[in-house]
Chain A
Amino acid sequence: MTANQRTVNVCQGTGCISAGAEQILSLLKAEVAGLNLSDSVLVRGTGCHGLCQAAPLVAIEPDGILYAKVSPDDITDIARSLLPDGKPVERLFYYDTVIDRPLAIFRDIPFYYKQQRFVLRNLGNIDPDSIDDFVNAGGYGAARKAVTGMTPEEIVEEVKSSGLRGLGGAGFPAGRKWETCRVEMAEQKYVICNADEGDPGAFQDCAVMEGDPHSILEGMIIAGYAVGSDTGYIFVRAEYPRAVARLRTAISQARERGYLGKDVMGTGFDFDIHIFQGAGAFVCGESTALVRSIEGGRGIPKAFPRPRTTEIGLWDKPTLLNNVKTFASIPVVINNGGASFASRGTETCKGTAIFSLAGNVVNTGLVEVPMGTRLREIIYDIGGGILGGRAFKAVQTGGPSGGCMPAELLNLPVDFDSLTEAGSMMGSGGMIVMDQDTCMVDVARYFLDFTRRESCGQCVPCRVGTKQMYDILDGICRKEGRPGDIELLVELGESIAETSLCALGKSAPNPVLTTIRYFRDEYEAHIIEGHCPAGVCSSYQ
């Protein structure tokens, strides 16, 4: 290695790969070798760099230069730019439409510099298949600190003082959950990572698994030690084969290095992690349904009142279940301390929120901001505003359990409580921006079509109710709406929310209730005035 070594990070996230990034990586490796630069330049694949809109992305470090929308024709020029007298390839700089000029350094791009990356700290910066990259970035330091120097009680206290809330959507305080699992008396306990990211429009868990799998393992090791468990499972949804492959590699590397298995890091503590692939059912994101799925059954949630999973979980043993991002946050909490973590965010929601920003927005991609950041900042400053200069209509968060918020709420701070108050929810972190050409009745129908298909069918309000709501919405979209439909939808929605057995049913009416709350005039335009204002519903044309 020489002092002027450069690293070429070629994004291998799902977005970039579908834009041809695998070929870019192999061509660049060959070209760099052909120029005899292999001693001074390292070319490697990384996880998601963030700005998926400009895929495929190539970043040159330590310069910080970002090349956007790279094609095989650009490879020679990029490789030559790495020669001692090479010049950056200006035509590949990202063009920022807000400030109306190309930007060479990615940290100068508003999309990046307005973010604070903690959970996503390693994405785009390390090769996810290299445990050395991870360790060189400080990886497994927190696990070592926890397992060799802290008691389980101290770890739980640290997590409690961090204020970290579960990032799978519900926002339950992580420290309290860890505490209840830790104090259970049992020979066997389990730790489960919920990676069943089923919300359509959310890909951040996928990106963390693909881009930084060891951070999840590290968080789970710390959790296992803290609650007294020797076995962990990662429940990954079936639609993410690449995430499964990278996690498998990470687990086998961690076993080889003694971070997993018997006698972790020579401490006498045993902990191993297994991957369980889901088989395609949205309801399995619900903790008790997920547990039943691992046990080999149909993924049907347990009805309330029921014992907590931390008391009676997998195989009836105490089980700690957290989301991918929650586990990936744990090393930060342990390394920097709970108080440091809690210094970011709002009074009641600490740390950062992670969103997959998508829909009719200029910069689609992966975004991490402190809790409490306003919707406007995410959509306009980071996201670059609405695509094609069209008008903003709504922003949807929380997937099928969330809601659509109008322009009047753009100043809303993004945290668990504010979003719930607005009728939506944080959910797993999908954020879909909708422009003037989106029909809100069609969007509501879309979500109810999803939930009626995904209802497990065990309780009537959800199984029958979502079908009834869908039929009414479908009628309105087909120009068969009747006066009274809106009131009926509200009545149905409220009773489904009240009487369903699990969170899927309870939250299923949210997309309908919020669109009626904020966009009632669009429903009325369909039913009373006989037109679809957005021009989406073809029966009105």
Chain B
Amino acid sequence: MAEQLPEEFVSDILSSHVNSPGQLLPILLDVQHKVGYLPEEGVQTIAEFLGIDVGEIYSVASFYSQFRLTPIGKYHIQVCRGTACHIRGAPRILGELENQTGISEGETSSDMKYTLETVACMGCCALAPAIKVNSNVHGELTTRKADEVMHSLPEEETDDS
């Protein structure tokens, strides 16, 4: 992925889609999933492919929480802020991770190592509070266990970046 220019990469992705009404979200999700964010040049390519305005794409992309307009870090940390997680200590876990990474919710560290986000609910309510690092879920966390997860990261594979 790193070898290719964003617009070339997006063109590759577009080759598996057809230009029909309702294809915008599937295309954006595909690009987001494979590139990690929606690169500006790529959005231009998508606009030409679908024959719509760049502005229309940003209007849609900015509405949905899944879409990112900037690259994400090597470790994508998502802190669940569902109800069960909230009452079982998610705010403390988020605070601890902010301390550990030195960034706030919604930010990516300048060395591109971490992106820290909150998500509405991951469906692991029974194991609250939970976080997800790339595609791995860690449940029943305490601040100490969150620490341990962070310290075990360098050995972990980045499987969906």
Contact = CB atoms under 8 A, between A and B. Distances in A.
Interface of A: 14-15, 17-19, 52-53, 55, 197-203, 206-207, 238-241, 276-282, 293-299, 315, 356-360, 364-365, 396, 399, 430, 432, 434, 438, 443, 446-447, 450, 454, 456
Contact of A364 (B22, B60, B86, B125): B125
Given A14-B137, A280-B64, A201 B125 contact: yes
Contacts of A55: 126-127
Nearest to B127: A15
A285 to B, nearest CB: 11
Contacts of B84: 200-201, 358-359, 364, 432
B123 A203 contact: yes
Contacts of B112: none
B125 A296 contact: no
A206 B82 CA distance: 15
Given A15-B126, A18-B127, A202-B123, 19 more contacts: A14-B122, A55-B126, A197-B123, A201-B121, A203-B124, A203-B125, A207-B123, A238-B66, A239-B123, A240-B123, A279-B65, A282-B120, A298-B60, A358-B128, A359-B83, A359-B125, A364-B126, A447-B83, A454-B120
B87 A365 contact: no
Most buried by B among A297, A396, A399: A297
Q: Which of B65, B123, B135 has the most CB of A within 10 A?
A: B123
A446 B83 contact: yes
Interface in B21-40: 21-26, 28-29
B64 A279 contact: yes
B14 to A, nearest CB: 15
26 contacts: A18-B127, A55-B126, A200-B82, A200-B83, A201-B83, A201-B121, A202-B121, A203-B125, A238-B29, A241-B135, A279-B64, A279-B65, A281-B63, A294-B25, A295-B21, A296-B21, A298-B60, A315-B21, A356-B125, A359-B125, A360-B88, A364-B125, A364-B126, A364-B128, A432-B125, A450-B120
B111 to A, nearest CB: 27
B74 interface: no
Contacts of A280: 64-67, 120
B146 interface: no
B160 to A, nearest CB: 9
B59 A298 contact: yes
A239 B87 contact: no
Query: Which 5 residue pairs are nearest across A and B when measured between Cβ atoms?
Result: A52-B126, A201-B83, A18-B137, A279-B64, A280-B65
B138 A18 contact: yes
B130 interface: yes
A399 B33 CA distance: 28
Given A239-B119, A359-B84, A446-B86, A297 B124 contact: no
B82 A19 contact: no
Nearest to A233: B22
Contacts of A430: 83, 125
A430 B22 CA distance: 31
Contacts of B126: 15, 52-53, 55, 203, 356-358, 364-365
A441 to B, nearest CB: 13
A360 B24 CA distance: 42
B81 interface: yes
Contacts of B24: 296
A39 B24 CA distance: 50
Nearest to B24: A296
Given A279-B28, A360-B88, A198 B120 contact: yes
B25 A296 contact: yes
A456 B25 CA distance: 17
A280 B120 CA distance: 9
A199 B121 contact: yes
A239 B122 contact: yes
Contacts of B82: 200-201
A281 B65 contact: yes
B71 interface: no
Contacts of A201: 82-84, 121, 125
A17 B138 CA distance: 10
Contacts of B120: 198, 200, 239, 280, 282, 450, 454
B157 to A, nearest CB: 14
Given A294-B22, A296-B24, A15 B124 contact: yes
A371 to B, nearest CB: 22
A454 B65 CA distance: 9
A396 B83 contact: yes
Contacts of B29: 238, 277, 279
